[in-house]
Structure 1
Amino acid sequence: MSRDEKSQSKTKQELDRIVFIGRTFEEYVQMFNLHISELVGKKILDCPAGACSFTALGCKASLNVTASDIAYDHKVDDLQRKGQLDITHAMETLERAKDNYVWSYYGDVQELSEQRRQALQDCTQDMRKHPERYVSAMLPELPFGDEQFNIVLSAHFLFMYSDRLDYEFHKNTIHELLRVASEEVRIFPLTDLTDTRYELLDRLILELEAEGLRVTEVKVPYEFMRNGNSLLRIRKI
């Protein structure tokens, strides 16, 4: 096997480990309890952003949004193909387990699939037009300056994978998100993949408060995973 073939094989293996699925701008507004008028003039980071369309549509709405994700060092065409495959697989899985979810927002699996595909399309189109908005990074380290952003949003990563990401990783990642935020960090949801509230969340909140941060759990007008209708808001005082 040539060097180029080895490199392509390694790239494919790395891409295979990524799940490239995202949420729409409207979902972000609900999940993070956002008021768009309050975001005007702010610098916002979405991390990890995956195939979410918040950056694409937010910038169209004159917001200043940057997306960061480990996936962004791959070619856009490859990510789009991977995203389509991931959505198909996810919807097949959801169809078999749909009674485990709350469908008040989406209605059914078909509508959810359409929203996921719309987010993927909006995201990848914007990546082609404005690649500078999409910055590759691997948490818990970010290639941004201290307090470069006013607000950092982080969805469907921390807490969800507590079975494979330990407490120190969670805490180190939150500290890194706080490092690049001048005002606040919002994390959604607060449950793991079994719909259970992150078992070390109270400890984490106490430790963050001891550092002088203002931490609150906020109910939001969105729920898909059962019990997944709260965010963690961490504010610098």
Structure 2
Amino acid sequence: MEVQQPPRSSPWPDLDRLIVSSRPARDYELMFALELAALAGRRVLDCPGGASSFAAEAADAGADVSAVDPLYVLSADELRRRLASDVELAFGVHDERPEIDSDWLAEQKERWRVAGERFFADYRPDGRTRRYQPAVLPDLPFADAEFDVALVSHLLFTYDAVDPDAGLRELLRVVRPGGTIRIHPLVASDGVPYPVERVLAWLEGDGHRGEVVEVPYGKARGVGRSLIVTRGAATR
């Protein structure tokens, strides 16, 4: 999920800039320094999920996955139309940057197309599955300590739609002690690095552990870092 106007039917009018993306699960492995196979038997949150194929692929690998996104109020047809428009917008921005290889862009666009098809083969917005739920930080419809792993792509430190501290505290609530929250990237949408040191300080003060790690995803664009937070015994 990145930036743009949401549909009028969204129950979250404060999120006034959303773009639907459709990253494949392999991108998640690279962004979050994890292996899909290692998620088997674990409860996983994808927040926000967009039209990524991660939830479907992780479920196939044996994970119990819930993806949330405010745009899951849409039907499959509505979301498909939205994705087609937003992918053109997202890649059009990259097309204007001469330092980004055009062949790489074409390959990425095709990977997103394939991942989007996998998502729509799995998407059920009518309540028949809990895998895709309309929700957004910092108000998630889950019990305390419900997840082993939470993954946050292109939201908390990138756009101002959600307060980073409030969002992270809500993630700490729904992740079990010893579980992890993985966040990528650590830069704002304009490329300015987010002051993660401040976040690391309050995490440590609250009894949690945070670590910034280098990841292979996005290095060419200066966003090759992610934050891995391990929840402590209690949240405050």
TM range (shorter): 0.7 to 0.9
Q: Deviations over 1:205-229 (max 9, x none)?
A: 1011100001110111222562211
The answer to whether 1:158 aligns with 2:156 is yes
Per-residue Cα deviation, 1:27-57 (whole angstroms, up to 9, x for no partner): 1111111123432211000001111110011
TM-score (norm 2): 0.85
> Residue 147 of structure 1 aligns to a residue in which SS?
coil
Partner in structure 2 of residue 27 of structure 1: 27
- Superposed displacement of residue 11, structure 1: 2.7
Structure 1 residue corresponding to 2:190, chosen from 194, 198, 204 = 194
Separation in 2, partners of 1:204, 1:45: 21
In the alignment, does 2:228 pair up with 1:230?
no
Q: Give the drift of 1:89.
A: 2.1
When structure 1 is superposed on structure 2, of 187-196 and 146-155 the one drifting more is 187-196
Which ranges in structure 2 are unaligned for 5 or more consecutive residues? 1-6
Letter in 1 for 2:230: R
More displaced 10-residue stretch of structure 1: 87-96 or 42-51:
87-96
Question: Structure 1 residues 149 and 170 mapped into 2: Cα distance closer, same or farther (>3 Å)?
Answer: same
- Amino acid across the alignment from 1:85: S
* Sequence identity percentage: 32
Higher helix fraction (1 or 2):
1
* More off after superposition, 121-130 vs 108-117: 121-130
8 A contact 1:187–1:232 mirrored in 2 = yes
Unaligned runs of 5+ in 1: 1-8
Residue aligning to 1:177: 171
Residues 1:38 and 1:23: Cα distance change in structure 2 (over 3 Å): same
* Structure 1 CA distance for aligned equivalents of residues 184 and 71 of structure 2: 20
**C-alpha separation between the residues in 2 aligned to 1:223 and 1:88?**
19
C-alpha displacement of 1:98: 4.4
Distance 1:37 1:89 in 2: 33
* Whole-Å separation in 2 of the counterparts to 1:225 and 1:76: 33
Report deviation, 1:138: 2.3
> 1:209 matched to which residue of 2?
204
Query: Partner residue of 1:67?
Result: 67
3-state secondary structure, aligned to 1:217: strand
Equivalent residue letter for 1:126: D
Q: SS in structure 2 opposite 1:234?
A: strand
1:95 corresponding residue in structure 2: 95
